[in-house]
Amino acid sequence: MTLALPSPVHLRVAARLLQSGAVIAYPTEGVWGLGCDPMNEAAVRRLLDLKQRSEAKGLIIIAGCIQQVEGWLTGLSPAQRAACSATWPGPYTWVVPAANAPQWLRGNHDSVAVRVTAHPGVQALCHAFGGALVSTSANVSGKPPARDALALRQQFGRGLDYILPGRLGGDGKPSEIRDARTGIVLRKR
């Protein structure tokens, strides 16, 4: 399935809102996602409040290209970095040493999860924003992830600042999660 990119106008609006601390929803490979600027503590805390999710769990960082996550990979050996980059872009999330990740991203962990997406709309959103984003499934904790705009509105009402138009990628499975230091699979696809 070929996915159309969001319009340049929608991407500019979303990027401006993200840069000002907004929390937005957007379609990903399998479900709708919630995103914000990972370095904006107030935005991340607002996203966690919307999801009713504990900060202790940590969050995933998603990028449009590997250059946008280079700073998150500094604690890896060349072989570990090569293992990560060999799966990107794609549905593979790697848990990497937290390096300089603030607590609001890593939670109670010494690591942070990063992924380079293959979804063209999310890639375009990250490029328009100018970097990686927090990305988590669009659902209140304990409820199923949203698979359409109606489900988004039912779960979040007016709590979202923007919904980026687009289509899901058709991949109904969550990304695989691996520990980049050990190679151990933490969640299978």
Give pLDDT tens digits for 53-98. 999 999 999 999 999 999 989 889 999 999 999 999 998 999 999 8
Distance CA 70, CA 99 (A): 12
At residue 3, the pLDDT reads 75
Domain boundaries, the chain: 8-187
Angle at 62 between CA 148 and CA 58, to 5 degrees: 95
Question: Is residue 45 scored above 90 in pLDDT?
Answer: yes
At residue 31, the pLDDT reads 86
pLDDT per residue as tens digits for the range 127-156: 999 999 999 999 999 998 898 888 998 999
Give the residue with greater pLDDT, 188 vs 126: 126
Question: Is residue 1 scored above 60 in pLDDT?
Answer: no
Q: What is the DSSP string of 103-142?
A: HHHHTTSSEEEEEE---HHHHHHHHHHTS-EEEEESS-TT
Within 20-61, residue ranges assigned H as helices are: 41-51
Q: Which architecture does CATH list for 8-187?
A: Alpha-Beta Complex (3.90)
As beta bridge partners, residue 22 has none
- Mean of pLDDT over the chain: 93
Distance CA 146, CA 185 (A): 25
